[in-house]
Structure 1
Amino acid sequence: MSAPTPTRVHYHRKAQELELGYENGESYRLAVEYLRVFSPSAEVRGHGRGQETLQVGKKFVGLKDITPAGRYALKLHFDDGHDSGLFSWDYLWWLIEQREANWADYLQRLEDAGASREPLGIEIRQL
């Protein structure tokens, strides 16, 4: 069974959340930081198990743009310059369903690495 296709996609800029709405009236909001650290790109996930790159300092990342990729995915353009990887409907649904477990695992991996969600240095953001 494949994942449902969103009927509505909305970016809440101030909250830095992407909202996906579905035909049954349900909607889900995913933090942009969560989407960034779980990007399906090879840059983040590597080319196989154990090749992942832990994403650090992404607490305040936002989106610059969202573009459709055919009828099966979204391309998210993050304001830290990352824009590779396609977020398929199946992958987005998996992120929704596994959000709590994924986030707990991510926080544990950060702690194990002695890393932080906080960006290093002074962040300069273009408005």
Structure 2
Amino acid sequence: MAATLPQDIKLHTKSRTLELIYSDQEQFELTAEYLRVHSPSAEVRGHGIGNGVLQTGKQLVGIKGLEPAGNYALKIIFDDGHDSGLYTWEYLYDLCQEQENYWNRYLKALADAGETRHGNMIAKG
């Protein structure tokens, strides 16, 4: 379990990314959009298997803040008002490890639904 705990976390508001540093050899940068569309919240995942809600128009979403949730998770506060997902350390590490697969699956789901990453959302400074 200790292997999934980052040594450092850096929020880069200008580039809208979250950097997770696990070791000198293992560092990841996750976009706010990627984290937002993969939120572990019930609002995104749904309340049962197959009840997830495809997130659209989140390309310009940013991260307003981070809060620890006990010793087991990180609460990410997004500038679109979403703040209900608790990202466990294991889930964050999985998002890092599987970033390419999850992102490609998300892009395919958008295309299949005829939706886009763009939306009417206006970036907030």
TM-score range, shorter chain: over 0.9
CA-CA distance at 1:21 after TM superposition: 1.0
Instruction: List runs of 5+ in structure 1 lacking aligned partners.
Output: none
1:100 match: secondary structure: helix
Partner of 1:51: 51
Aligned length: 124
| Distance in 1, Cα, partners of 2:4 & 2:116 | 34
- Partner residue in 2 for 1:4: 4
Runs of 4+ in 1 over 4 A off after TM superposition: none
User: In angstroms, what is the RMSD of aligned CA positions?
Assistant: 1.5
Q: Do structure 1's residue 64 and structure 2's residue 64 form an aligned pair?
A: yes
Aligned pairs (5 A) from 1:1-127: 3-22=3-22, 24-25=23-24, 26-120=26-120, 123=122, 125=124, 127=125
Instruction: Tell me: CA distance 1:2–1:45, structure 2 relative to 1, closer, same or farther (3 Å).
Output: farther
Is the Cα contact below 8 Å between 1:44 and 1:53 reproduced in 2?
A: yes
TM-score (norm 2): 0.93
Tell me, yes or no, if the aligned pair for 1:75 and 1:87 is still in contact at 8 Å.
yes
User: Residues 66-85 of structure 1: CA distance to partner in whole angstroms, max 9, x if unpaired?
Assistant: 00111111000000000001
In structure 1, distance between residues paired with 2:35 and 2:110 = 16
> Matches of 1:64 and 1:119 in 2, distance apart?
19
Superposed displacement of residue 13, structure 1: 1.3
Identify which range, 66-75 or 1-10, moves more after superposition.
Answer: 1-10
Alpha-carbon offset, residue 27 of structure 1: 1.4
Look up the equivalent residue of 1:123 and give its one-letter code: I
TM-score of the superposition, structure 1-length normalised?
0.91
Instruction: Work out the percentage of aligned pairs sharing the same amino acid.
Output: 51
Deviation at residue 3 of structure 1 after TM alignment: 4.9
Unaligned 5+ segments in structure 2 are none
The answer as to whether partners of 1:3 and 1:89 remain within 8 angstroms in 2 is no
